[in-house]
Amino acid sequence: MTQAEWWKSAVIYQIYPRSFQDSNGDGIGDLKGIERRLDDLKSLGVDAIWISPIFPSPMADFGYDVANYCNVDPRFGTLDDFDSLLRSAHDRGLKLLLDLVPNHSSSEHPWFTESRSSRDNPKRDWYIWRDPAPDGGPPNNWISDFGGSAWEWDEATGQYYYHAFLKEQPDLNWRNPEVRAAMMDVLHFWFARGVDGFRIDVLWHMVKHADFPDNPANPAWRPGQPDYTRVHQHHSTDQPEVHEIAAEMRAIADAHGARVLIGEIYLPVRQLVHYYGSEDAPGVHLPFNFQLIGAEWNARQLAERIAAYEAALPPGGWPNWVLGNHDRPRIATRVGPEQARVAMLLLLTLRGTPTLYYGDEIGMADVHIPPHRVQDPRELNEPGIGMGRDPVRTPMAWDASAHAGFGPADPWLPLHPDWAARNVAAQREDSRSMWRLTQKLLALRHAHPALAIGDYRAVDATGDLLAYERRHGDDRVLVVLNLGATPQGFSIPEWAEALSVIASAQGGSDPAILGPDEGYVLG
Ligand code: GLC
């Protein structure tokens, strides 16, 4: 591993900027707030932060609708604040990644204002405009990920435009070379400022079939399931040409040196691994692997998924793991607070770069949002079917002072109800806390090359147990996890008999009998 490949041994921490730390009392987190918390992150032991979008935005989708790719939204601060944050991060040896949203802009981006102004505007073709179907309806049956037709009628120019998400998020036309050039300039802009990489939003959406055929119907769809799953997104996503774009972005990242690109891609593993690209045309360094988000929490199923993912990786393809993010239910809610400790052991000991979602290090759960406080357009569009994302985006709890130390004012979303006890300050003092467990595991990753960059080998286990070896040269680590609520016996392989327990989920000391929700790291 070279210096340039820092991201292989790194642990990435995702910050949802609205909810991390408010410095100016508007109830919304900001860059100055993040800067103030860097020492906390450093003492936790993460290596890099990824910040969800901070660019000027009407906030129809809370920043994933970008109105200017090369500036900072005043709610989050200024470009100077950004530079200061970046400097402070680098001073502490922390890398900083931004969130690039290239698939679509805001409908208030000047590019779109021009594009929609007339059919012969030079930027008309920067977005995806189509004539109506013969009956006057939308050009095809594509459905927005947030529900309803993905086509919006524009009365003034008599055409529809395509939006994979909200109508306030028109998709850019990536088949147009001017669009490509403009977005590559955005990468240059931030790389030149010093950012260490990007998480690329909905990378698999970026190119659509050139002829816009109907998507095939999904016969398994049932009422109560999200609208977009009525069809398979066969023609609207994952088109072969997307890999050329990823390769072009990669070339820019490589030219700037020691940068990383992470692609957001929700696809089955066999399609996902194509986003690593080829030797001649490498794609993103890390196509996000959401296996642990999508899987049933069952030891045998997870063992199978880990094996399938490891087996599918192309030569040189570096793995990565994610347990939660700003779009999906939190791990503490999915598996319960005690099993969440086992999940943290898993995330931080598997082979590959882990991404940790803010708040998971204190075991924050999804927060119930009363109907009058719902903000997420996804919930507002399709209420009551569990698609809302506000519950996983609530403010971070730092201490037991007013508003949990998040800021001087009432935060934009409610705090989790147990914030007075479940917060960073309290957990720092409690040796059994989730924060301390996370801190310990991060320290172990730094101390053991086996954990940071070692090989992975499954170890025989049955029932609720999941076991594996990590190895780098002489450094060998055994991990055994009980994913269930009943005690499980485990026969320690001979090679590991001399190892000792270096971390455990519940504080136990006998890896031959794992209590409920217990897990061990031996090294
Ligand atoms: C990604 C983001 C999500 C956003 C969507 C549209 O999936 O993670 O939050 O709503 O893209 O940009």
* β-sheet bridge partners, residue 104: 171
Domain limits, CATH 2.60.40.1180, in the chain: 455-522
Encoded tokens for 65: 């609708």
State pTM to two decimals: 0.98
Residues 6+ apart with CB under 8 A from 18: 28, 29, 62, 63, 393, 412
**Which atom of ligand 1 is found nearest the CA of 101?**
12
Task: Look over the chain and give the mean of its residue pLDDT values, rounded to a whole number.
Answer: 97
Residues 6+ apart with CB under 8 A from 441: 344, 345, 348, 349, 503, 521
Spacing, Cα 64 to ligand 1 middle (Å): 6
**Which atom of ligand 1 is found nearest the CA of 146?**
10
Please name the residue whose Cα sits nearest to atom 9 of ligand 1: 327
* Residue range 354-368: mean pLDDT, rounded: 98
What CATH code is assigned to 110-162? 3.90.400.10
Measured CA distances, 121 to 114, 174, 185 (Å): 7, 17, 22
Q: Has residue 1 got a pLDDT over 90?
A: no
Q: Has residue 248 got a pLDDT over 80?
A: yes
**Which atom of ligand 1 is found nearest the CA of 65?**
12
Q: Report pLDDT for 368.
A: 97
Asked whether 379 lines ligand 1 (CB < 6 A), one says: no
Asked whether 202 lines ligand 1 (CB < 6 A), one says: yes
Spacing, Cα 81 to ligand 1 middle (Å): 25
Q: Report pLDDT for 2.
A: 79
Spacing, Cα 320 to ligand 1 middle (Å): 19
Please name the residue whose Cα sits nearest to atom 12 of ligand 1: 64
Please name the residue whose Cα sits nearest to atom 4 of ligand 1: 64
Q: Report pLDDT for 131.
A: 98
Q: Report pLDDT for 122.
A: 98
Asked whether 327 lines ligand 1 (CB < 6 A), one says: yes
Confidence of residue 294 (pLDDT cuts 50, 70, 90): confident
| Burial class of 175 by CB neighbour count within 10 A (0 to 12, 13 to 18, 19+) | middle
* Residue range 190-201: mean pLDDT, rounded: 98
**Spatial distance between the Cα atoms of 160 and 111, rounded to a whole number of angstroms:** 17
CATH 2.130.10.10 fits 455-522, yes or no: no
Annotated catalytic residue within 99, 201, 310, 464:
201
* Residue range 7-17: mean pLDDT, rounded: 98
Confidence of residue 3 (pLDDT cuts 50, 70, 90): confident
**Spatial distance between the Cα atoms of 45 and 435, rounded to a whole number of angstroms:** 11
Domain limits, CATH 3.20.20.80, in the chain: 3-102+177-440
**Which atom of ligand 1 is found nearest the CA of 166?**
6
* Catalytic-residue membership of 154: no
Query: Is the Cβ–Cβ distance between 22 and 29 less than 8 Å?
Result: yes
For a mutational test of ligand 1's pocket, the pick from 202, 267, 392, i.e. the residue with the most ligand atoms closer than 8 A to its C-beta, is 202
pLDDT tens digits along 109-167: 999 999 999 999 999 999 999 999 999 999 999 999 999 999 999 999 999 999 999 99
* Residue range 157-183: mean pLDDT, rounded: 98
* Catalytic-residue membership of 26: no
**Which atom of ligand 1 is found nearest the CA of 103?**
12
pLDDT tens digits along 255-279: 999 999 999 999 999 999 999 999 9
The continuous run of DSSP H or E covering 339 comes out as helix 337-349
Spacing, Cα 361 to ligand 1 middle (Å): 23
Spacing, Cα 145 to ligand 1 middle (Å): 9
290: closest CA among 224, 357, 361?
357
Q: Has residue 315 got a pLDDT over 80?
A: yes
* Residue range 187-213: mean pLDDT, rounded: 98
334: closest CA among 288, 366, 358?
366
Query: Is the Cβ–Cβ distance between 95 and 49 less than 8 Å?
Result: yes
Q: Report pLDDT for 72.
A: 98
* β-sheet bridge partners, residue 413: none
Domain limits, CATH 3.90.400.10, in the chain: 110-162
CATH topology of domain 3-102+177-440: TIM Barrel (3.20.20)
Asked whether 61 lines ligand 1 (CB < 6 A), one says: yes
* Residue range 468-488: mean pLDDT, rounded: 98
**Which atom of ligand 1 is found nearest the CA of 104?**
12
For a mutational test of ligand 1's pocket, the pick from 15, 61, 104, i.e. the residue with the most ligand atoms closer than 8 A to its C-beta, is 61
Q: What percent of the chain has pLDDT over 70?
A: 100
Spacing, Cα 165 to ligand 1 middle (Å): 8
Spacing, Cα 17 to ligand 1 middle (Å): 14
The continuous run of DSSP H or E covering 177 comes out as helix 177-193
Asked whether 165 lines ligand 1 (CB < 6 A), one says: yes
Asked whether 201 lines ligand 1 (CB < 6 A), one says: yes
Spacing, Cα 202 to ligand 1 middle (Å): 7
Q: Has residue 291 got a pLDDT over 80?
A: yes
Annotated catalytic residue within 61, 65, 152, 264:
264
Encoded tokens for 179: 């669009």
Q: Report pLDDT for 373.
A: 96
For a mutational test of ligand 1's pocket, the pick from 51, 162, 165, 380, i.e. the residue with the most ligand atoms closer than 8 A to its C-beta, is 165
Q: Report pLDDT for 301.
A: 96
Spacing, Cα 115 to ligand 1 middle (Å): 23
Q: Report pLDDT for 4.
A: 84
